[in-house]
Chains A and B, each alone.
Chain A
Amino acid sequence: MKKSRSIIALLLVLVMALSPVVLGGSVKAETADSGKVLNIWGWNEEFKGLFETYFQGAGLVPEDVEVRFTIVPSTDNAYQNALDQALLDQENAADDDKIDLFLLEADYALKYVDSDFTLDIMNDVGLTEEDLAGQYKYTQEIVTDGNGAIKGTSWQATPGLFAYRRSIALDVLGTDDPEAVQEALSDWDKFAAVAEQMAAKDYKMLSGFDDAYRPFSNNMTNPWVDENNVINLDENMVKWIELTKDFTDKGYHNKSRLWDDQWSADQGPGSNVFGFFYSTWGINFTLLGNALEDPEAEQAVGNGIYGDYAVVEGPQNFYWGGSWLAAAAGSDNLGLVRDIMYTMTCDKDTMQQITKDTQDFTNHEEAMAELAADDEFASAFLGGQNHIALFVESAKGIDMSNMSAYDQGMNENLQEAFVDYFNGNVDYDTALDNFYTAVIETYPDLTRPE
């Protein structure tokens, strides 16, 4: 009998002891509404870090303004669910709770851009054409709505490259020189021919099914959905399917999926994989980390395959990833929002500094061109190559006019549905059928092509 009470007592004590801590906090927070609050929403802390260093850190936030970041993880679509609900409630929210600025990814940017919940960064927010002139055009195309209004702006440009192993190139192609290798990989037919040579020497051209996806998907000839809401499987995607099926059947890759263990291991010492399609952000962080034998030892030649990678443009220019800033309709801090957008995504000096500090490739053509010409920017990891110079070239060729609001669901579902086809679990028609089914679940307003 005593025990039954002690268990309840234990729980009671726990709850009572904690309740002032937990519930008390909210009361204080609600009454502390003195002055203006700048609300910024995102799914991770990437922008928060930059903002605190280059904007808040530079003393650009007025003293009477409190900056409040709300971070909701993107797992299970939680970020968009929370953001959508908050935007729909925006009208009735207290001024201090209204979202002012929020972050977006390219794959779903148009969902917000094509709505009244985002503001035109020129006509509504107040950035000028001159302010935006330095940016890469494709970063603006991605967030331009049907009426031509630009509804977002990014501090990053994320052109992609093909990173390959110099030692394997030397063994198979007889040269590791980037120009010669680029010549050998300059279109998809040549790419496949090299893959065959690789296989002959027991190497794998790629790591897995999805590796070549982005170069195809971010070069589509038509948007995913036509004006009648009918799904359009672009000829470029058909090419990706054919190429990946062919590579799978011939054993040109290790059947990994993006980000899985095999994929990471394939980038490291002891791997037989020739190369990876990667974007700006991937090379100095993901690829470099994976290439080391001993993560604790100095990052230098001799540690794993450090210095054995090089980059080329590959068969096609493409981009992969990136984050955009959007101003929320109903914001009560538009002046400050403009200043943030200007400093973080238009100001040449700030952006060049970000690249110098973080190696991230920023969205200012001139600033990047200067670094491209700077010999100090040679990357020891890439065997002395200046990858910024290549990125500058690659970024010019990106064409993103065929984005749609549906890209996120299309990309995820197409990769998932066709793995079964590549593996031989189902035939082409079944995989395609599964893809259409999955997409229409995600976007009920779409229909299958006849």
Chain B
Amino acid sequence: MPVDKANRVLRYVILILLSVLCLFSFYILIVNSTRLHSQIQKGFSILPDNFFTRNLNNVLANKEVPVVKGIINSLFVAGASALLATYFSALTAFSIHIYEFRFKKLVFTFIMMIMMIPAQVSALGFLRWMSSLNMLDSLVPLFLPSVASPIVFYFMYSYMQSNLPKAVIEASRMDGASEFRTFNRVVIPIMKPALAVQAIFTFVGSWNNYFIPSLLLRSKEKKTMPILVAQLRSADYLKFDMGQVYTLIFLAIIPIIVIYILLSKYIVRGVAVGSVKE
């Protein structure tokens, strides 16, 4: 079957090309974190140099850029956001998908509408409002709003439409389980692939979020990684050091890659096994 074989080769070629495109940016990031500021300023290099430890020491020695604290803050905010967003969006979607109540259509329409509102729209109002609630320089407004994530909700809802038969709920009720228990013990496992997918998306989105944290956070003990990166990028001319910037970006990427690989394995395998089909 020469046609099939040619197709197969073509598929691998395309996949390898795409993978190279995807990994190339990481490669260059790593290369740049091994180069000195003056080298980076003069342009691009495909080969790494050997200044990584120096850049790393420079970053770690910088007291205004508490890297460890920044990673902890980011892990906390992104982890909490992912947890809250996936759990409560599934709960909200569950409510709309399963129950029949009067304002159901209205509620669904409302959530779909607010999904279309860009974050920038109410950013300044948000800042003012947080200021009056005394929540400036706090991590709470960075993760708590994830409880209401319309896009995650919509994904959960779409997924339930295809994958959550109402009969399953009926069966659980027959067994005498409370509604809350049914949700936790029956629905959550069925939603597993969707939860993993959205946990990753939310985690990544929150991990890389700059706009809202930049408006809220002040003290260095509270800063998240993107703020620290921006801070290094706007350093004064005496300290401006692209080597440090790239090293910090590199440091910021490691935890998220680890988390991603942990969760992605789960997606890749988990979906294939499939909780619905059993």
Query: Taking the complex as a whole, does A directly touch B, i.e. does some CB pair lie under 8 Å apart?
Result: yes
Residues 220 to 274 of chain B near chain A (Cβ within 8 Å): 220-222, 227, 230-231, 233-239, 262-263, 266, 270
A4-B192, A8-B87 are known contacts. Are A264 and B215 too (CB-CB below 8 A)?
Answer: no
B221 contact set on A, CB distance < 8 A: 25-26, 29
Min distance, Cβ B218 to any Cβ of chain A, angstroms: 5
Complex contacts, B275 vs chain A, CB 8 Å = 1, 4
Main secondary structure of the interface of A (DSSP, over half): helix
Query: Which residues of chain B have C-beta atoms less than 8 A from A49's C-beta?
Result: 238
Q: A4-B189, A25-B221, A295-B36 are in contact. Are A89 and B79 (CB under 8 A)?
A: no
Chain A residue, CB-CB nearest to B216: A82
Q: Among the listed B39, B75, B231, B262, which residue makes an inter-chain contact with A18, where contact means beta carbons less than 8 Å apart?
A: B75
Partner of B64, one of A1, A25, A71, A75: A71
**A22 contacts B36, CB within 8 Å?**
no
User: Across the interface, do B192 and A286 meet the contact criterion of CB distance under 8 Å?
Assistant: no
Q: Is the CB of B211 within 8 A of A76?
A: yes
A41-86 contacts to B, CB under 8 A, are 43-46, 48-49, 68-76, 78, 81-82, 85-86
- Partner-binding segment picked from A9-17, A123-131, A442-450: A9-17
> Nearest residue in B to A295 (C-beta to C-beta)?
B38
Q: Which residues of B contact A12 (CB under 8 A)?
A: 83
- B42 on interface, CB distance cutoff 8 Å: yes
CB neighbours of A75 from chain B (8 A): 210, 214, 230, 233-234
Interface residues of B in 22-62 (CB under 8 A from A): 36-39, 41-44
Query: Would you call A85 and B196 a contact (CB within 8 A)?
Result: no
CB distance from A41 to the nearest CB of B (A): 9
Q: Is B91 an interface residue (CB 8 A)?
A: no
B131 A89 Cβ-Cβ under 8 A? yes
Contact of A11 with B214 in the complex, beta carbons under 8 Å: no
- Of chain A, the residue at the smallest CB distance from B239 is A45
- Are A261 and B43 also in contact (CB < 8 A) when A7-B263, A45-B236, A78-B214 are? yes
Judged by a CB distance under 8 angstroms, whether B195 is at the interface is yes
Task: Say whether A268 faces chain B, with CB atoms less than 8 Å apart.
Answer: yes
Which of B128, B137, B236 is within 8 Å of A44, CB to CB? B236
Contacts A11-B82, A85-B131, A264-B42 given; does A74 touch B73 at CB 8 Å: no
Known A26-B138, A73-B227, A268-B42; judge A15-B236 contact (CB<8 A).
Answer: no
A72: chain B residues at CB < 8 Å are 214, 218
Among A3, A21, A73, A285, which residue has its beta carbon within 8 angstroms of that of B72?
A: A21
- Chain B residues with CB under 8 Å of A81's CB are 127, 214-215
Taking a contact as CB atoms under 8 Å apart, the answer to whether B237 and A7 are in contact is: no
Whether A82 contacts B82 in the complex (CB less than 8 A), given A73-B231, A282-B237, comes out as no
Is the Cβ of B38 less than 8 Å from the Cβ of A15?
Answer: no
- Mark out the residues of chain A between 251 and 283 whose CB falls within 8 Å of any chain B CB in the assembled complex: 261, 264-265, 268, 281-282
Whether B234 pairs with A289 at a CB distance below 8 angstroms is no
Complex-state Cα separation, A285 to B239, whole angstroms:
10
Q: In the assembled complex, which residues on chain B have CB atoms less than 8 Å from the CB atom of A46? A: 236, 238-239
In angstroms, how far is the closest chain A Cβ from the Cβ of B166?
Answer: 20
Docked pose: A18 CA to B77 CA in angstroms:
9
A292 contacts the other chain (CB 8 A): yes
Most buried by B among A75, A76, A265: A75
A423 CB within 8 Å of chain B: no
Given contacts A45-B64, A289-B37, contact A18 B76 (CB under 8 A): yes
Is A48 within 8 A of B64, CB to CB? yes
Q: Is B160 an interface residue (CB 8 A)?
A: no
Does A296 sit at the interface, judged by CB under 8 A? yes
Contacts of B220 in A (CB 8 A): 71
Q: Identify which of B80, B188, B222, B236 contacts A4 (C-beta below 8 A).
A: B188
* Contact (A14, B41) CB under 8 Å given A76-B211, A89-B131: no
What's the Cα separation between A14 and B44 when bound, in Å? 38
Chain B residues whose CB sits within 8 angstroms of the CB of A281 once the complex forms: 237-238
A430 at interface by CB-CB < 8 Å: no
Interface pair B266/A7, CB less than 8 Å apart? yes
**Is A290 among interface residues, defined by CB-CB distance under 8 A?**
yes
CB B190 to nearest CB in A, in angstroms, measures 8
Q: Check B218 against A70 for contact (C-beta < 8 Å).
A: yes
A11 and B83 contact, CB distance less than 8 A: yes
B139 within 8 A of A: yes
With contacts A78-B214, A268-B42 known, is A85 near B127, CB below 8 A? yes
Q: Is the CB of A78 within 8 A of B73?
A: no
Q: How far is the CA of A74 from the CA of B67 in the complex (A)?
A: 19
Q: Does B191 contact A (CB under 8 A)?
A: yes
Cβ of A358 within 8 Å of any chain B Cβ, yes or no, is yes
A22-B76, A73-B227, A289-B38 known; A82-B215 Cβ under 8 A? yes
- Chain B, Cβ-Cβ closest to A6: B266
How many whole Å from A286's CB to the nearest CB in chain B? 6
Q: Does B147 count as interface, using CB distance less than 8 angstroms?
A: no
The verdict on A8 contacting B236 (CB below 8 Å), with A14-B75, A21-B72, A26-B138 known, is no
How far apart sit A7 and B72, CA to CA, in the bound complex (Å)?
A: 19
The listed residue (A4, A44, A296) touching B195 by CB distance below 8 A is: A4
Most interface-central of A7, A15, A72, A290 (chain B CB within 10 A): A7
* Seed contacts A73-B227, A82-B215; 17 additional CB < 8 Å A-B pairs: A1-B189, A3-B270, A19-B80, A43-B234, A44-B239, A45-B239, A46-B236, A68-B219, A82-B214, A82-B218, A85-B127, A85-B131, A261-B41, A261-B44, A264-B41, A265-B43, A282-B237
Q: Can you list 6 contacts pairing A with B, beta carbon distance less than 8 Å?
A: A3-B266, A45-B235, A73-B214, A85-B128, A264-B41, A265-B43
Enumerate chain A interface residues (CB-CB to B < 8 A).
1, 3-5, 7-8, 10-12, 14-15, 18-19, 21-23, 25-26, 29, 43-46, 48-49, 68-76, 78, 81-82, 85-86, 89, 261, 264-265, 268, 281-282, 285-286, 289-290, 292, 295-296, 358
| Chain B contacts to A: CB under 8 angstroms | 36-39, 41-44, 64, 72-73, 75-76, 79-80, 82-83, 87, 127-128, 131, 136-139, 188-189, 191-192, 195-196, 199, 210-211, 214-215, 218-222, 227, 230-231, 233-239, 262-263, 266, 270, 275
Interface pairs A-B: 10 shortest CB-CB: A46-B236, A4-B192, A264-B41, A18-B76, A1-B189, A73-B234, A14-B79, A295-B38, A78-B214, A73-B230
